Amino acid sequence: MLKFTIIVILAFANFQTKINVALALTEEDLKDQLMVTIIEAKNRAFELVQGIRALAANKPEKFIGTVDQMVQNSLNDMETLKKQSGTVNDVSCNEKSNIEDAALKTISQYQTCIEKVIDSADADLSYLASDGNLLMKEIQYAKSINEELRKQVLDIEARSYKFGKYVQKLEKCDTQSNLVRLTRQISEALARYKQCLQK
């Protein structure tokens, strides 16, 4: 009976050890899973920001080309008006500097908008990476994974998907680029120029 009891006790102890090992492995597996989720979130956010940077890289050049063409067209219109009026000296009527100033201001505002979007995306990426690194350390040294840690990991993951909003913000730079205002300013400048030539 004593021998049987000892065997049962040893068997139970061995079983308990296996359970403890299994629990430890499960906990470690869970930690690894959460760590991988954080790493994937950081990588996803980084790739999205790189994509946004690539998208933004060509925008100013294209925008400047559009503005330059508008300015050139207006200067051609001024030359046509000058020829039609028969005026040789139009120095007192010159609206060229006003048009160029308005164009430079429009370009500057557009570039500032693009830079703000990129700076915001970079800042958000930096915060996410920092929060992710701190959370990984917290998970690494945690005795057990609780619900709060899981929620924090899900929050990091959710934040990584939100970087797509910066593509929309870049598009807003286009829609709010003041090209309409520049068109109006050029039209007004040409009207003043024409009126001045007629005096």
In tens, the pLDDT along 184-198 reads 999 999 999 888 888
- CA 6 from centre of chain: 67
The dotted CATH code for 26-198 is 1.20.120
Burial (CB count <10 Å: 0-12, 13-18, 19+), residue 34: buried
pLDDT category of residue 88 using cuts at 50, 70 and 90: low
The tally of CA atoms less than 13 A away on the side-chain side of residue 59 is 25
Segment 6-16, tens digit of pLDDT:
443 443 344 34
Compute the average pLDDT of residues 107-130: 96
Tokens standing for residue 165: 């909003």
Rounded-to-integer distance, Cα 119 and Cα 113, Å: 10
Compute the average pLDDT of residues 87-112: 88
pLDDT category of residue 120 using cuts at 50, 70 and 90: very high
> What is the DSSP secondary-structure string of 57-103?
HSHHHHHHHHHHHHHHHHHHHHHHHHHHHT-S--GGG--HHHHHHHH
Compute the average pLDDT of residues 93-107: 92
pTM of the entire structure?
Answer: 0.75
